[in-house]
Structure 1
Amino acid sequence: MKVLHTADWHLGMTLCGRRRDAEAEAFLTWLADIIHREDVDLLLVTGDIFDNGTQSARSQTLYYQFLTAAAAAGCRHIIITAGNHDSPAFLEAPQEILAALNIHVVGTAGEGRPGNTFLLNGPDGEPDLIVAAVPYLRDRDIRRSVPGSSIHERAGRMREGVRSLYREAWDAACAMQPSTGPAVPVIITGHLFVAGGTTIDGDGVREQVAGFIERVGADIFAEEAAYVALGHLHVPQTVAGIETIRYPGSPVPVGFGEAEQQKEVILVTTMPGMPAAVRSVPVPQFHRLATIQGDLPTISRRIHALREDGGPVWAEVIYDGAAIPGDLMGEVTAMAEGTEIEILKVKDARLVSAALSAYQSCEELAELTETEVFERCMETADIPPDQQGRLMTAFREVLRELDADEPFGGAPL
């Protein structure tokens, strides 16, 4: 059976206030085409289909239109499991109707119900594959707490609860094996953070299991599994160096930290008695994201290069020059005028560094005057001495206006 594995679509997400629906639609159209061209039998979507539990009408339309397109493309089975961003109730609401189309949705797990287990037949009607579909595990699904226990003890019980639930899922899959003939391959799904996984700063991924800042080991999955289909981490990767335990990652960059990352979906071919064959299929970039970092001349050159490349770009600018621009946002925005480059975010790295240093300092803020705090900020940001005097004069003027309770420019604050 040929399986396509994807996850973390985050339909309905935004970036700096810009909706990403056009990118989502382009990806889903591309995905339906891949299903057709690769003659995919089973589509596995392992969580975070939506970006939040309150889905917009547009996101819902994209979701259901895609399911229709995937079925029309020849996909005989679709299995969808909920992630931590999803509303299990919303996903499961139409499950009886969807099941009639061989689309199965698993929103919740729990004691005595480790997700759902499906025995899938091939075109000849013979069993070809078993899927133990485990969704994101919430605290109530694996509660193992004891009154009076410490947070470390509770976390340990949570990890054991996860391990126990996956044993139950494996046992349920084994119980579905045909009584005659070769054993049918088993795929296990999950939406969680497995130890050793790689993340990107700012991707919003929570390093937690059921609310605890903990990771589980890859040994919670049965070694006999043909493939383990995971979701939650946005970086495409294997787990513990095992080719058959995979995160496909998010198909559309969720933030600027993923801008240069090659996105992918995973194709898995299973056959009784044979190891699964796994290969990656690169996903095109449907709207270019770029991070531009440097002083003003460097930023200008980079914007010029992006303009020469052509096409629309959403850009993040990180200024790390020594001089203090009078109007950083204005100067950067002016550089992009007349181009298809839209500056969504401008960040002064020196000020961020100063803020972090102040946060890490043991010195009490109450022990410093306003001007002393400002002096330390200038020192930390390496402001040139010839600029420090002018800045301090302007700062003191601001303080005087505040002390006199005079609104800036005479206008109401």
Structure 2
Amino acid sequence: MRFIHTSDWHIGHRLYGQKRYQEFKQFLDWLITYCTEHPVDALLVSGDIFDSTTPGNRALALYYRFLHRIAHTSCRNVIIIAGNHDSPTLLDAPRELLSQINVHVIASPRYQPEEQVFFLQGADETDAMIVCAVPFLRDRDIRSAVAAEDMDTKSKKLQEEIRSHYQKICAAAENIRNQHGFPLPIVAMGHLFTAGGQTVDGDGVRELYIGGLAHLHSSGFPECIEYLALGHLHIAQRVGGKEQYRYCGSPLAMGFNEAEQQKYILDVSLSPTELQVTPVQVPCFQDLIRLQGDLASLTDSIKQLAEQESAAWLELCYSGSSDPGRLRQQLQDAVENTSLHILRIRTNHSAAVHLQQEKPTESLDDLSVEDVFERCLASTNYTPEQCTDLRLTFQKVVASLDQEDIDHG
């Protein structure tokens, strides 16, 4: 069997307010072309399809159009799991309809383990594999709260429940394999943070579990797994040094700290006796460039980029000895009549904005819109009922801002 492993699309993500729908469209178009020119049997998407639990109309349109198009390629099956950014209810709503075109969605844990296991066949009927689809596991999904538990106990119990959930799903897969009577390879999907995983500052990856103690070690996965297709971390990497345990990483840079990373999808060929993983480079659809220096250095770098007819988005880090009052205007003047676009200007004199800091280096730029709202809400004296109403209103406002994109796309 040959399949593509991808994850963390984050459709709808904005970078300092800049909409990125053209990039998402270009990536999805590229992925369709790749699957057409390099016939694959399946596509596995390991969570964080969207950047928000309330994606706008344009984000949804890109998603559904892609699924319609992939169904008309050689790709016979698509399996999608929810990530921590996704709304299980939203992903699950069209599940029955999508299954008619062999798109299988697992947005939350199922009552019966067998419901998270899929037997997939390739174009050649002798090619087949079993996929265990495990979505992002929330505390409430798999663990019952116990009074007076401390944080350490909660985290350790949650880690054990995650391990147990994988054991149950993989046991169901082994039963299916035994019924077929020959050694079908077993692939597992997941969206979580494994111990030792590499991240980049500002990549948007947040701790999923209290204290980090629920980071699952590579030894916690069942031994029957012959390929582990993980999502959540944005850097393509092996887990625990194992060739068969992989994060594919995000296909687009989620921030300037990821700008110099090469992005990948993973093209995987798997049989009962052989595994071959080929990282495939995803083209960069929008250049992100960070420039640093004093005013003269920054304007000179901008001039050089303009001469190269660059259309990059810029983060400018001013490191001059003084903070000129007209810095922003001078830098904006430098990009005027060019295709360059300044998204952010940082100065070593600017006072960082903090909202109930959780760590000393945290600034407003490190927080999502939802984070800022929640921290503002926490500083009020509203009742829980009032907070719930305010959250719903806030979500509607954010959704309405995204929904108007469909009319301007």
TM-score range, shorter chain: 0.7 to 0.9
1:313-369, Cα deviation, whole Å (9 max, x unpaired): 1111111221221222112111112211111110113435899xx9999xxxxxxxx
The code of the aligned residue for 2:62 comes to L
1:219: which partner in 2? 219
- TM-score by length of structure 2 reads 0.83
Partner Cα separation in structure 2 for residue 244 and residue 90 of structure 1: 31
- Report how far residue 209 of structure 1 moved: 3.4
2:143: which partner in 1? 143
Q: Which runs of 5+ in 2 are unaligned?
A: 361-409
Partner Cα separation in structure 2 for residue 328 and residue 201 of structure 1: 26
1:189: which partner in 2? 189
Query: 1:114–1:168: 8 Å Cα contact kept in structure 2?
Result: no
- Report how far residue 223 of structure 1 moved: 2.9
Partner Cα separation in structure 1 for residue 243 and residue 327 of structure 2: 46
1:95: which partner in 2? 95
Matched, 1:298 2:287: no
Q: Between 108-117 and 131-140, report the one with greater CA deviation.
A: 108-117
Partner Cα separation in structure 2 for residue 218 and residue 350 of structure 1: 44
- Report how far residue 127 of structure 1 moved: 6.1
- Report how far residue 297 of structure 1 moved: 2.0
Alignment of 1:11-410 (within 5 A): 11-109=11-109, 113=113, 116-126=116-126, 128-179=128-179, 181-209=181-209, 214-272=214-272, 274-351=273-350
- Report how far residue 40 of structure 1 moved: 0.9
- Describe the SS at the equivalent of 1:78: strand
Query: 1:111–1:165: 8 Å Cα contact kept in structure 2?
Result: no
1:175-203, Cα deviation, whole Å (9 max, x unpaired): 11044553100101110111111111112
The code of the aligned residue for 1:344 comes to L
- Report how far residue 308 of structure 1 moved: 2.8
Query: 1:190–1:229: 8 Å Cα contact kept in structure 2?
Result: yes
The code of the aligned residue for 2:313 comes to W
The code of the aligned residue for 1:329 comes to R
| CA spacing shift, 1:286–1:156, aligned 2, 3 Å | same
Partner Cα separation in structure 1 for residue 286 and residue 326 of structure 2: 28
Matched, 1:5 2:22: no
Query: 1:130–1:173: 8 Å Cα contact kept in structure 2?
Result: yes
The code of the aligned residue for 1:220 comes to G
Query: 1:207–1:213: 8 Å Cα contact kept in structure 2?
Result: no
Partner Cα separation in structure 2 for residue 16 and residue 318 of structure 1: 15
- Report how far residue 150 of structure 1 moved: 0.9
Q: Between 26-35 and 253-262, report the one with greater CA deviation.
A: 253-262
The code of the aligned residue for 1:292 comes to L
- Describe the SS at the equivalent of 1:339: coil
Q: Which runs of 5+ in 1 are unaligned?
A: 362-413
Query: Rg: which structure is higher?
Result: 1
Query: 1:110–1:140: 8 Å Cα contact kept in structure 2?
Result: no
Equivalenced residue count is 359
The code of the aligned residue for 1:293 comes to Q
- TM-score by length of structure 1 reads 0.82
- Report how far residue 299 of structure 1 moved: 1.1
Partner Cα separation in structure 1 for residue 359 and residue 145 of structure 2: 35
Q: Between 4-13 and 326-335, report the one with greater CA deviation.
A: 326-335
1:91-121, Cα deviation, whole Å (9 max, x unpaired): 1111111111111000001665487100112
RMSD: 2.4
Query: 1:130–1:187: 8 Å Cα contact kept in structure 2?
Result: yes
The code of the aligned residue for 2:109 comes to A
Query: 1:227–1:244: 8 Å Cα contact kept in structure 2?
Result: yes
| CA spacing shift, 1:260–1:4, aligned 2, 3 Å | same
Partner Cα separation in structure 2 for residue 13 and residue 226 of structure 1: 33
- Describe the SS at the equivalent of 1:229: strand
Partner Cα separation in structure 1 for residue 164 and residue 51 of structure 2: 29
| CA spacing shift, 1:143–1:353, aligned 2, 3 Å | same
Partner Cα separation in structure 2 for residue 275 and residue 353 of structure 1: 52
1:47-89, Cα deviation, whole Å (9 max, x unpaired): 0101111121111111111111111122100000000111111
| CA spacing shift, 1:179–1:172, aligned 2, 3 Å | closer
